[in-house]
Amino acid sequence: MLRVGLTGGIGSGKSSVASIFADLGVPVIDTDQLARDVLAPGQPLLEEVFRAFGHDLRRSDGSLDRAALRDLVFGDPALRARLESITHPAIGQAMEDRIADLPTDTGYVLLVIPLLLEAGWRDRVDRILLVDCPEPMQVQRIIARDGIDPENAWTMVRSQASRVARLKAADDVIDNGSSSGPGSLVHRVRALDRLYRGIHS
């Protein structure tokens, strides 16, 4: 089946786009959810993260304090690389397992991979779909969503691949930086859905 990798910077609107594809009956596999699964309480990988980054990241219920971990690694490339070396292989394997479980007549699958370029996972997808918006808009959305200060929001944006690099790598782009509303977003997703189904057929 055709593998479409959905990517984009933090705050670009990937979740909204993925939801529209799901509403159209497209199988959606979200690597952020897979990351939560492999780091769930009781999973061996979670204990490895605690050993590497500190047991103070363990909440009272045994779960990972994801916000604290994010704050720890986003501003430190070396720590972030260490975390990714622990988690990415397990996330990648979980993604492949989910794909293998899909019906054989599935036309295409949408793989939501925020760090597709950073992880070097281009060879795992057939096409790259980028959800794009200007970086100041990303920052505004992060602040509104997470309630953090602008400096931290900019640090998060700049820790990822640049907008230029993502645009250069993309096969298809959804501009989510306009104020044209959700109706326009649905229209663009429907057009891409027809394209992908046509490629598969």
CATH number for position 131: 3.40.50.300
pLDDT at residue number 147: 86
pLDDT of 182: 58
Query: By C-alpha distance, which of 65, 171, 83, 64 is closest to 126?
Result: 171
User: Which of these three, 101, 118, 140, is where a domain ends?
Assistant: 101
Q: Do 43 and 74 fall into the same domain?
A: yes
Do 68 and 166 fall within a single domain?
A: no
Going residue by residue through the chain, which has 201 residues, state the pLDDT in tens, using 9 for 90 and above. Answer: 999 999 998 888 899 999 999 999 999 999 999 999 999 999 999 999 999 999 999 999 999 999 899 888 877 889 989 999 999 999 999 999 999 999 988 889 999 999 899 889 999 999 999 999 888 888 888 899 888 888 888 888 888 888 899 999 999 999 888 655 556 889 999 999 999 998 866
Q: Which of 101, 124, 140 is the last residue of a domain?
A: 101
CB 1 within 8 A of CB 108: yes
Return the pLDDT at 188.
93
Residue 49 Rama label (left phi>0; alpha psi -120 to 50; beta): alpha
Assigned domain for 33 exists: no
At 201 the pLDDT is: 61
Helix (H, G, I), strand (E, B) or coil at 126: coil
Do 112 and 199 share a structural domain? yes
Residue 32: inside a domain: no
Q: Give the pLDDT score at 161.
A: 85
Overall domain count for the chain: 2
Give the pLDDT score at 170: 96
Instruction: Quote the domain boundaries for residue 16.
Output: 1-27+108-201
Same domain for 96 and 125, yes or no, is no
Residues 184, 119 within the same domain? yes
pLDDT of residue 12: 87
Whether 20 and 48 map to the same domain: the answer is no
Model pLDDT, residue 10: 86
Domain end marker among 48, 66, 101: 101
User: Which amino acid is present at 44?
Assistant: P
Q: Which two tokens stand for residue 79?
A: 């720590």
Whether 169 and 84 map to the same domain: the answer is no
Q: Quick one: 56 and 139 in the same domain?
A: no
The pTM assigned to this predicted structure is 0.88
Write the CA distances from 136 to 16, 114, 167, integer angstroms.
Answer: 19, 18, 16
Q: Is residue 81 part of a domain?
A: yes
